């Protein structure tokens, strides 16, 4: 989980789940993004539409299943919903 300072008075935590795409699912692709505010209120919790074929849903770790991805938001829409212009990545 990553803590990002949006302004001096507003903090959010972002958690992302990834799925495997490409040969043997070796590449990671954003599958779900969750954002909570300082008080723990969920601001955003969306699955992401995949451009590539998902080889490994990594369900054991991510909890993501094929049926979750059916109505996923497009990434550009997700950025708009989150109202964020910068993202931090974590491993």
Residues 18, 2: Cα–Cα separation, whole Å: 15
The model's pLDDT over 19-70, given as tens digits with 9 standing for 90+, comes to 999 999 999 999 998 988 878 888 889 999 898 999 999 999 999 999 998 8
Taking alpha carbons only, the member of 44, 48, 13 closest to residue 30 is 48
Confidence band for 13, pLDDT divided at 50, 70 and 90: confident
Report pTM: 0.74
The pLDDT of residue 1 is above 80: no
């Amino acid at each position: 989980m990553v803590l990002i300072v949006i302004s001096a008075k507003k903090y959010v935590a972002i958690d992302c789940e990834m799925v495997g795409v490409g040969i043997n699912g070796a590449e990671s692709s954003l599958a779900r993004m969750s954002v909570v505010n300082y008080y723990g209120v969920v601001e955003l919790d969306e699955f992401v539409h995949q451009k590539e074929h998902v080889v490994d849903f990594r369900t054991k770790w991510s909890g993501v299943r094929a049926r979750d991805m059916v109505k996923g938001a497009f990434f550009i829409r997700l950025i708009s919903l989150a109202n964020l212009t910068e993202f931090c990545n974590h491993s």
